[in-house]
A and B are shown apart, each in its own frame.
Chain A
Amino acid sequence: MKLTLRVWRQQNAETPGAMATYEVDRISQDMSFLEMLDTLNEELILAGDEPVAFDHDCREGICGACSLVINGDAHGPERTTTCQLHMRSFQDGDTIDIEPWRASAFPVVKDLVVDRSAFDRIIQAGGYVSAPTGTAPDAHATPVPKPDADFAFEHAECIGCGACVAACPNGSAMLFTSAKVNHLNVLPQGAPERETRVLDMVATMDDEGFGGCTLTGECATACPKGIPLPSIAAMNKEWLRATRKVRR
C-alpha cells in the first residue's frame, strides 16, 4: 500500500506545532499501525530527519501507552488500541491524519507524545485500598458475589490510555475516574474508603483541568476496553451518596 500521512510535529511543549506531510510506500496489510510508523521513522532517520515521537510499549493493547488520534478518532477507526490497529483497516492511496491526544489536561510533550500524569494524580487521590503489606486476612475470608466480582473486573480493565478524554468534546475524564471508583467501591475490600475515594478522586479530576461531562458518550465509544457509559452514572450515584453521607 501507498499512503499519505499528515502528522502533527511539535518540537516541545513550548514550541507551536504543525501538520507535516509524508509519503510511505510498500506498507503491508499485516502491519500494525505502529509498525507503519516505524517504517516511516526508519526512512526519516536515514534522511537525517528526526523520527516522529510517539508513545508505545507493550504493543499488545494492554499497557495503555499508545495514544494517537487517527483521522479524528482516538485510536483510529476500530475499537481497539492504536498498537492493535492493523493497516488492513485502510485502503491503498489513503491520506491519514495522525495527531496527539487533544485535551488541555494532556499537554503535548513532543510530536504525538502527551503528558498524562494527571491520571496518576487522580489515582493517587484515592484509587486504592489502604491494605498495607502483611495485614491481609485469608483470601477466602470474605466471599465476593460473582456479579460484584465481574462488575469490578469489567471496570478494572481500564488501561489508562486516555482515549476517553481525547474523544470527549469537553476533555472530560469521567469515564477513567468512574472505572476506578466502580472497580473498588463495589468490593467489600473497598467499602471502608468508599465515600472519601469518590469525593477525592472527583475533586482531583476537576482540579487537573478535565472538562465536565455532558453525557455525549464519545468516551465509551472510543474506549478500547469497553468500559461502559453507565459507569459514569454509577459514579455519580456514588458521589451523591457520599456527599450526603459525609455531610451527615
Chain B
Amino acid sequence: MADYTTYTTGEPVTDTKAPSGPVAERWNTRRFEAKLVNPANRRKHTVIVVGTGLAGGSAGATLAEQGYHVVQFCFQDSPRRAHSVAAQGGINAAKNYRNDGDSVHRLFYDTVKGGDFRARESNVHRLAEISVEIIDQCVAQGVPFAREYGGLLDNRSFGGVQVSRTFYARGQTGQQLLLGAYQALSRQIAAGNVEMHARTEMLDLIVVDGKARGIVARDLITGRIDTYFADAVVLASGGYGNVFYLSTNAMNSNATAIWRAHRRGAWFANPCFTQIHPTCIPRTGDHQSKLTLMSESLRNDGRIWVPKAKGDDRPAGEIPEDERDYYLERIYPAFGNLVPRDIASRAAKNVCDEGRGVGPGGQGVYLDFAEAIERMGRAEVEEKYGNLFDMYARITAEDPYETPMRIYPAVHYTMGGLWVDYDLQTTIPGLFAIGEANFSDHGANRLGASALMQGLADGYFVLPSTINDYLARNPHTDDLDADHPAVAEALAETEDRLSLLLAVDGDRTPDSFHRELGELMWEYCGMARTEQGLRKALERIPVIREEFWRRIKVPGTGEQLNQSLEKANRIVDYLELAELMCLDALHRAESCGGHFREESQTPEGEAARRDEEFSYAATWEFSATGEAPVLHKEDLVFEYVHPTQRSYA
C-alpha cells in the first residue's frame, strides 16, 4: 500500500475570484461585475439544491423567487427538520442597536481574529456586511426574535466578543430562523417553483465534461436510486462532525454529499479544523448515541469552575467559595467566561486532565448560576434560559437552579469543508457549496452565533448573486442524456456500493464501526493532537476500513426503507474522510484555533501559530481511496487585520 502520508504538493490556489480594491468595496464590485441571467431565461435553468437547512432552505427559496427552477433534496421527512433547527444561542449582526461601539468593521475584525487568522479577509468582510440585511429579512418573514418592552429587538453578547450583537429567540434561534427559511421555501413549493424531494439522499455527483450537471439520489422509502439533472448543483449538506460518532450533530447528519463531490474532483479545504464546543452535557455511558449542547449563551451569566484540589468529590454546594477555581476568570481576566470556544474547551480539558474534573469519570466542569440567580432573580434567569435549564434537567435528572450544571466539550462544528472561491463555487465548475459544507469564513475557529449568520448570508444573499454569473456564462444547453457515460457510471457505482454493503453479510453492525472510528478520532484528532497520535490513527483507519468491508452486516434489502443501509453507506465515506482529517492535522504542525498541536504551544500553554509556514488554507485533491492526496495551498493575505498572537487575557 502506498503511504497515505507521502502526499505531494501541487499548484497553489491563486484565483479566488475576490475583486481587488478596498475590502469594503469588494462585494459591491463583484455583484456589479457578475453577469446576470435575463429573468425570462431563468425558468429554463434548473438548479439542484441538496439540503434544507439555513443555507439550503434560504438558497432554494431565493433562487426560486428569482425565477429559477429549483429541485431540492433532504433526507429528513420534511425540510423543516434540517439540523440548523437545533442551533440555540443566536445570530450575529453588526446592527449596533446597542450603541456599544459595534460596526461592520468590528464584526469583520472579530471574526478574522476569532478564526485565528486562517480565513479570507474578503469573505469575512462580506459576511459582516450582509449580517445586517439578514436580520431585516428574518424580521420581515415573521421570525419572532426576542424583544424589549419598547417593541425593539433585544441583543446579547456571546463568546469571544465584547459587544452585544447577538439577536436571539430564547434558546431556539436556529429553530426560528430555520422555520423562516422553511416557510419561504414552502411558499415557493406551493407556487410550483421548487420541486421538493424529502426523504431522498444524495449519493453521488454527476460531472459531465468537467461541469457539475446533476446528482444520484436514493429515495429512502422505496430504495429507488435515480439521477437528477441540472445546470448547477448547490451543496448545502452541512458539516462532517459525525465522523466522531459522538457529536452534537443530528444522528443522520453526514458527509456523503461533500465527500462524493470531493471524490469527483472538488477539493477539500482544512478538513482538520473542527470545533469542540465547551458547553455540552457530559456523556453518561457507552450507550450514548449523541451529545447535547447547552447554548454558549449560558456563559454570559454562568460561571465556570472546578475544585481547587484534585479528587475533591464533595457535592458542589459543600465546596466553599475559596476552594473553587473559576479558572477562566483567573486565566483570562478580560474575557473571563466569554473566551472563544476553542480556548474554553481546552481549558476544561486541562483542568480535567489535572484530575480536577467533576461528575462521573471526572469528565466535567461546573457551570454555576447561583450568582446569576442572586443578581437577576430566578424569574429573569428563567426568561433567558428556561428551555435550556429544562433540557438539562430532563437529560440529567438534576435541577440546575439548585445545583450547578456539569458540562464538558464535544465536537460541534466543522470549519473545514469543500474549498470554494469568493463566488462559493468549488473547483468543479457549476458545483457550489454553502453553509457549513464549505470552508470559507470561519478560519480555524468559529465564533458563537456566526454559523447561522453564515448559512443565511450564503443562502439568501451571496449564492443568489454569484450563481447568476455562472449560469449566464454557461447558457442552458440541451438536456442531459440519461445514457451519457458519466451518468451511467455514477449510477452504477452507487448501485454497486449499496449492493456490496448488503452482500457482505458479516458479523458487525454499522454502529460498531462508526463508534470505533469515532473513538479513534476523538482520541487522536480531537481537542489536542500530536504527531505520534495522528500517525497511529493513520495506521489504524485503513485497518478499520478493510475490516468494515469484510465484516459489515446490513440486514434487509435495498428496495425498501433500510436505515442500516443508510448508516453503513455514510460510514463508508467517514472512513475515508477521517483519514484526510488526520493527514491534514498531521501536516499542519502548528496550532491554530480549534486545531491544537501539542508540539506547538506558547509557554503559557496557548495555541502557537506559525504564520511564516502555515498562513494558508490547505486544500486537498483526491487521488484514490487510501492513496496520498495532493495538497494545494491558498496563501492567506492580511491587509486589514494583522495577525497577532490571539490574546484574550
Contacts and interface: CB of A to CB of B under 8 A. Distances in A.
Interface of A: 11-12, 28, 30-32, 34-35, 38-39, 42, 44-46, 48-51, 53, 55-65, 78, 80, 84, 86, 88, 109-110, 113, 115-117, 119-120, 123-125, 127-140, 142-146, 149, 152-153, 156-157, 159-160, 183-184, 187, 189-190
Nearest to A29: B397
Contacts of A44: 555
B83 interface: yes
Contacts of A49: 555
B252 interface: yes
A139 B139 contact: yes
Contact of B141 (A113, A128, A160): A128
Contact of A28 (B77, B141, B285, B509): B285
A192 to B, nearest CB: 11
Report the 10 A-B pairs with minimum CB-CB distance, sorted nearest first.
A143-B151, A128-B183, A136-B140, A136-B136, A124-B190, A131-B140, A30-B284, A153-B144, A152-B144, A139-B139
B630 interface: no
Given A131-B137, A135-B140, A59 B290 contact: yes
15 contacts: A30-B284, A30-B285, A64-B81, A120-B80, A120-B186, A129-B141, A131-B142, A136-B137, A139-B136, A140-B97, A144-B147, A156-B179, A160-B78, A184-B142, A187-B142
B472 interface: no
Nearest to B465: A134
A55 B62 CA distance: 29
Interface stretch (B169-177, B598-606, B608-616): B169-177
B86 A46 contact: no
Contacts of B186: 120, 123-124, 127-128
B80 A160 contact: yes
Given A58-B250, A117-B198, A130-B187, A123 B140 contact: no
Contacts of B149: 146
B86 A60 contact: yes
A129 B183 CA distance: 8
Given A31-B287, A84-B395, A119-B78, A146 B148 contact: yes
A3 to B, nearest CB: 14
A117 B78 contact: yes
Contacts of A145: 151
Interface in B545-566: 553-556, 560-564
Given A58-B86, A136-B136, A128 B184 contact: yes
Contacts of A142: 139
A60 B179 CA distance: 17
Contact of B289 (A38, A80, A183, A184): A38
Interface string B604-631: 0000000000000000000000000000
B152 interface: yes
Interface string B414-448: 00000000000000000000000000000000000
A86 B397 contact: yes
Contact of B560 (A12, A152, A184): A12
Interface residues of B, number: 84
Contact of B250 (A28, A57, A138): A57
Most B CB within 10 A of own CB, among A39, A51, A60, A80: A60
A53 B144 contact: no
Contacts of A48: 553, 555
Contacts of B145: 149
A131 B141 contact: yes
Contacts of B79: 120
Interface of B: 58, 61-62, 65, 76-81, 83, 85-86, 95, 97, 133, 135-142, 144-153, 169-170, 172, 174-176, 179, 182-184, 186-187, 189-190, 196, 198, 221, 250-253, 284-285, 287-290, 292-293, 391, 394-395, 397, 460-461, 464, 507, 509-512, 553-556, 560-564
Given A57-B252, A143-B150, A146-B147, 13 more contacts: A31-B287, A45-B509, A46-B553, A49-B555, A64-B80, A109-B561, A113-B561, A129-B140, A137-B136, A144-B147, A145-B151, A159-B85, A159-B175
A59 B292 contact: yes
Contacts of A30: 284-285, 287
Nearest to B555: A50
Contacts of A127: 183, 186
Given A53-B561, A117-B198, A140-B153, A133 B509 contact: no
Given A35-B288, A86-B395, A133-B460, A57 B190 contact: no
Contacts of B136: 136-139
Nearest to B198: A117
B151 A144 contact: yes
B387 to A, nearest CB: 9
Contact of A133 (B147, B196, B464): B464
A124 B187 contact: yes
B463 to A, nearest CB: 11
Contacts of B460: 133-134
A136 B510 CA distance: 47
B82 to A, nearest CB: 8
Nearest to B391: A61
A153 B512 CA distance: 41
B174 to A, nearest CB: 8
Contacts of A131: 137, 140-142, 184
A28 B284 CA distance: 10
